[in-house]
Amino acid sequence: MTAQATLFKPKPTGITLRPYQQEAIDAVYRYFEKETGNPLIVLPAGTGKSLVIASFTKSAIEFFPETRILMLTHVKELIGQNLKHLVGLWPEAPVGVYSAGLGSYDTDDQILYAGIQSLHRAVERVGHIDIVVVDEAHLISKKDESMYGSVFTALRLINPKVKVVGLTATDYRLDSGYIHEGDDTLFSKVVYEADIGEMIEQGYLLPPRSKKTKTELSTEGVKKRGKEFIESQLIKAVNTDPLNNAICDEIIELGADRKSWLLFCTGIDHSENIAKILNERGISGHAITSKTSKTDRARWIDQLTSGEITFLSNANVLTTGFDSPRTDLIALIRPTESTSLYVQMICRGDRLFPGLADFLVLDFAKNVSRHGPLDDLLIKRPPEGKGGGEAPMKFCPECSEIVYAAVRICPACAFEFPPPVTKLSSTASGEALLKADRKPEVVAVTNIRYERHKKNGKPDSMRVTYYAGIRNFTEWVAFESAPKWARSWWWKRAPGTRPPMDVTDALARTAELKTPARLSVIKDGKYYKILSQEIADDRDDTAPPCQPHTVFQNG
């Protein structure tokens, strides 16, 4: 072990891997026995990726003593964190460090822990590598000219058989969806994935809790670049005195029983303004940004970790590589289209800590609605081609005219649709952070529409849209591809009648169907799933009045 590596050496400890950690390592070896690509391990933040990396590295060299391993990541904090676990597990590991941020430039050790920014111009000095282990693998771009791309290209020139093992908590990117899907992907498949819901249920992570906030940040009018909000426009929209004061008041109120707060803000000024308001209200803490000195950053993080201060606000700093297990409140004051960033922010609070039963998430930015619960995320896949799909439509409550969603005045009856709610709202998101926390909702049906639904390569189905005021809920009845379920669906609404054989027959006979008075629905990602229906009865005086249904033969 080099002198530099000993700087990170903790006291050796008896370490026993958790079952899922060992399963992840075993999955990599099973993959290498049968396949030739590059495997990916997906472990939620807080479940011990550093220990998995250390144990895999040790076992690989024990099995194959001549193996040379390179561990790559993007921040010095993760290099140090990963290295501590390796030398704690294996005190005499033949390991060196190549990182400008850590002041070390080792190149000859059998195991090398390195930062991608430092190493990408010095690969030739490192020489032959058999296995590259990449922490935070979702940061690898598909572009060959990227820093990771240039490193892999250089390593393959030296050893064409070099293998890459990736580890990440978020195996997707904003610009390209899952990092193991599509053309020209580095990783061939996910060989092991630990579900965050199961990790919480098994007691390896703290469960998140949420409270509905009164204040909500609006992104109306904020344009996007590269599928993410343009930061300058976003800052202008959210960094205002009324919003900042309202948000700080709510954090103080809702977090009164919480002792260690981590606040994610939009930009440097926003982070500093939030910190200033909290300080003025007697709450101790600091704003950490890219302008913060290394000395202050380290000192303030230590103060939060020790409990000396109550909060840290930050802008694009305290996500990957940051670990403060005392954290029991996360405030999202930064809207983002990046599912990965959303998960990374929330999961700064999921570490186990004595005395903590859960952590509180206050979402002022509608991120939970945008991305879904942590264990049922809405991962955006890139479109296969331009165009296609259906333009969003809505239903005029006055005359039943179907119009485009952007229309403000109904062309048939001149009904004026209400404008969207912006800026401050009294009904901010109280979305569930885990699937199990989602609760069904009962809605009254005010209108119903039947139409033909076409899908390439499959028989037509009947799309049924239920309207509850300005909201709508949809289900599809497939008489040809799912006849058993379709017959059951029909008989509940038209008992004693002959079920249709196809959509054409069904649409001609919708007058036979009784209309549901109420639906039980539950949020499922961006949309709602219909759990059950209460069928209206002629004798049911409590059923709300329902307008005549509409039938579309050609949909």
Of 295, 298, 302, 356, nearest in space to 327 by CA: 356
Query: Which residues on neighbouring strands pair with residue 40, listed in sequence order?
Result: 166, 190
Tell me the per-residue pLDDT of 31-87, one tens digit each, with 9 for 90 and over.
999 898 999 999 998 899 999 999 999 999 999 999 999 999 988 888 988 999 999
Q: Which of 67-71, 196-200, 264-268, 453-457 bottoms out in mean pLDDT, i.e. has the lowest?
A: 453-457
pLDDT for res 70: 95
8-state DSSP, 377:
-
CB neighbours of 90 closer than 8 A, spacing ≥ 6?
Answer: 54, 58
CB neighbours of 159 closer than 8 A, spacing ≥ 6?
Answer: 128, 129, 130
Question: Phi-psi category of 316—alpha, beta or left, where left has phi over 0 and alpha has psi -120 to 50?
Answer: left
pLDDT class of 314 with cuts at 50, 70, 90: very high
pLDDT for res 538: 43
pLDDT for res 543: 43
Beta carbons of 499 and 421 less than 8 angstroms apart: no
- 223 pLDDT more than 80: yes
Tell me the per-residue pLDDT of 483-520, one tens digit each, with 9 for 90 and over.
888 888 998 898 888 889 899 999 999 999 998 889 98
**Which segments of 307-413 does DSSP mark as H helices, in order?**
339-346, 367-371
Torsion of CA 24, 29, 33, 38, to 10 degrees: 70
Bridge-based pairing of strands 441-444 and 516-524 is antiparallel
3-state secondary structure of 467: strand
3-state secondary structure of 507: helix
Instruction: Report the share of the chain in percent with pLDDT over 70.
Output: 82
The owner of tokens 């590295």 is 57
pLDDT for res 122: 87
Count the residues in the chain: 555
pLDDT for res 417: 63
d(CA 140, CA 295): 30
Burial bucket for residue 420 (CB in 10 Å: 0-12, 13-18, 19+): exposed
Element (H, E) at 473: strand 471-477
What average pLDDT does range 82-106 have in this prediction? Answer: 91
Of 310, 305, 266, 309, nearest in space to 289 by CA: 266
Q: Is the dihedral of CA 180, 183, 186, 189 positive or negative?
A: positive
Beta carbons of 373 and 429 less than 8 angstroms apart: no
User: Which residue type, as a one-letter code, is found at position 486?
Assistant: A
The owner of tokens 């169907």 is 513
pLDDT for res 525: 62
- 144 pLDDT more than 80: no
Question: Phi-psi category of 522—alpha, beta or left, where left has phi over 0 and alpha has psi -120 to 50?
Answer: beta
pLDDT for res 515: 86
- 386 pLDDT more than 60: no
pLDDT for res 537: 59
**What domains lie within the chain, and their CATH numbers?**
3-194 (3.40.50.300), 208-371 (3.40.50.300), 439-552 (2.40.50)
d(CA 195, CA 181): 19
Higher-confidence residue of 178 and 333: namely: 333
